[in-house]
Amino acid sequence: MIGLITILFIVALLISGKVTPIVAMVIPPILGAFIAGYSFTEIGGFFGNGVSSVINVAIMFIFAIIFFGIMQDVGLFDPLINKMVAFSRGSVITVSVGTVLVAAIAHLDGSGASTFLITIPALLPVYKRLQMNPYLLLLLVGGSASIMNMIPWAGPLGRTATVLEADVTELWQPLIPIQIIGMVLMIGLAVLLGIREKRRIIRKYGSLEVAATLEAPAAAAPDASASVQTGPANGLARPQLLWVNACLAIAVVGVLVAGIIPAGLAFMIGVSIALPLNFFKVNDQMERLRAHAPNALTMASIILAAGLFLGILNGTGMLTAIANDAVTILPGSIAPYLHIIVGLLGVPFDLILSTDAYYFALLPVVDQIASGFGVASLSTAYAMVIGNIVGTFVSPLSPALWLALGLAGLEMGRHIRYSLFWIWGISIVLVITAIFMGVI
């Protein structure tokens, strides 16, 4: 109960926007640990374990945000932005649909972090140029990547296969039609929200053409790309080095996807090459670091705070207790349909449970109860995977989502408020579709 109250309180604070994420993820879990009877010494141990689990992510945050900030400064994405704007002819709907397709392709490696690192820096300036809501970008990229996350080499299906002791490829095959339907739904959502966004822009600026000629307000995105000038007067642009910078960016992302070296090291090397390549004077190099370091360090500090949060929840056993209690309090009359109920509530569960807790703690308990009523383990697994996986990147417990927020300069609470309704709706539709198709 203490763990559930702690997580709900943290989620409420994040949604409210009254405090910074660091405050929300540091004070409540520490108070929860004290109430549960743990000492400062034990909490210190939880902190050490939690931070050690996220330190590599924090390092990647720092150098990834600086690297892509430099790439944007020197105009690497300007040709892509101009071509997308020209191709779309100011069509917000075309950009929205393109976002879904680009994110799906980018997520073929199964890594949420690399997907956001590829898509957000490239597409965010397009959204700014067209005065589109950046939270729409995050919703479309996150939703598309979540559906693609059903591939065997991604985390959720691998965890499920581990619990069921099943072959992950065989587990995936019945989900392929669900993935296809999910992508169709995401494209439909992109069209719907694109129409809504188009109307908003016209109401605010008079026409799409007028909106596209305006400079994006600097205050709209206080992130690693805040210093990007998408207009023609970008004094930091290095058009003569466009292909050199493009090769450098591709190489860094390629190394990241291949997993040859740690992601943090890849971006550290990338920054070390990009700075002298584009800025010959030391003062200019330091100026670029000073321009992007505050945002990079802010996001790194949030990740370290999240490490404390997860360290306490794991160390005290709160997450496991939440997973067990979530099913024991349900009435016995609904037990035969428990897997479907949990599937329909998969996205809300994502707000309060980590991926490991959901698949390694909650799934076995639900499977045990449902199997007692003749429900096959595969049916239980599919219900929980389909219902939960779409909400992967709307959860504050997703490290990759924090990376996306850092790259886009957005707030977790506003993202949840903007995306939760649509993402949960797609999740419910997919679960119901899977029932009619016989997958569940």
Domain assignment present for 12? yes
Domain assignment present for 225? no
What tens digit of pLDDT does each residue of 39-70 get? Answer: 999 999 999 988 887 787 788 778 887 888 88
Across all residues in the chain, what is the average pLDDT? 82
Sign of the CA dihedral running 102, 103, 106, 107 = negative
- Three-class SS string for the chain? CHHHHHHHHHHHHHHHCCCCHHHHHHHHHHHHHHHCCCCHHHHHHHHHHHHHHHHHHHHHHHHHHHHHHHHHHCCCCHHHHHHHHHHHCCCHHHHHHHHHHHHHHHHHHCCHHHHHHHHHHHHHHHHHHCCCCHHHHHHHHHHHHHHHCCCCCCHHHHHHHHHHCCCHHHHHHHHHHHHHHHHHHHHHHHHHHHHHHHHHHHHHHCCHHHHHCCCCCHHHCCCCCCCCCCCCCCCCCCHHHHHHHHHHHHHHHHHHHHCCCCHHHHHHHHHHHHHHHHCCCHHHHHHHHHHHHHHHHHHHHHHHHHHHHHHHHHHCCHHHHHHHHHHHCCCHHHHHHHHHHHHHCHHHHHHHCCHHHHHHHHHHHHHHHHHCCCCCHHHHHHHHHHHHHCCHHHCCCCHHHHHHHHHHCCCHHHHHHHHHHHHHHHHHHHHHHHHHHCCC
Domain assignment present for 183? yes
Select the more confidently predicted residue: 228 or 3. 3
Average pLDDT over residues 226-237: 50
Q: How much is the pLDDT for 121?
A: 84
Domain assignment present for 337? yes
Q: How much is the pLDDT for 1?
A: 75
Decide if 342 contacts 349 (C-beta within 8 A): yes
For the chain, give the percent of residues with pLDDT over 70: 87
Average pLDDT over residues 376-405: 89
What tens digit of pLDDT does each residue of 333-358 get? Answer: 777 788 899 899 999 988 877 777 77
Decide if 320 contacts 357 (C-beta within 8 A): yes
432 confidence band (pLDDT: 50, 70, 90): very high
316: domain range? 1-215+230-437
202 confidence band (pLDDT: 50, 70, 90): confident
135, pLDDT greater than 90: yes
Decide if 218 contacts 229 (C-beta within 8 A): no
Domain assignment present for 222? no
Token look-up 């929200």 returns 193
- Distance in angstroms (rounded) separating the CA atoms of residues 379 and 440: 5
- Distance in angstroms (rounded) separating the CA atoms of residues 28 and 34: 10
Q: How much is the pLDDT for 277?
A: 93
- Distance in angstroms (rounded) separating the CA atoms of residues 238 and 76: 8
- Distance in angstroms (rounded) separating the CA atoms of residues 5 and 416: 19
Q: How far is CA 391 from CA 106, 328, 358, 425, in A?
A: 18, 24, 12, 10
- Token pair recorded at residue 345: 């509530």
Domain assignment present for 224? no
Query: ∠ at Cα 273 (268, 118), nearest 5°?
Result: 60
Q: How much is the pLDDT for 229?
A: 39
Query: Could you give the count of Cα atoms lying within 13 Å of 19 in the half-sphere of its Cβ?
Result: 15
Domain assignment present for 153? yes
120, pLDDT greater than 50: yes
85, pLDDT greater than 80: no
Select the more confidently predicted residue: 144 or 352. 144
Domain assignment present for 34? yes
Please tell me the total count of domains within the chain: 1
What tens digit of pLDDT does each residue of 406-429 get? Answer: 888 888 889 999 999 999 999 999
User: Chain-centre distance of CA 46, in angstroms?
Assistant: 25
Average pLDDT over residues 207-212: 68
Token look-up 């929860």 returns 32
226 confidence band (pLDDT: 50, 70, 90): very low
Q: How much is the pLDDT for 63?
A: 87
Q: How much is the pLDDT for 399?
A: 78
Q: How much is the pLDDT for 179?
A: 94
Q: In the chain, what is the straight-line distance between the N-terminal and C-terminal CA atoms, in Å? A: 31
Average pLDDT over residues 327-337: 70
pTM of the model: 0.68
- Distance in angstroms (rounded) separating the CA atoms of residues 258 and 20: 35
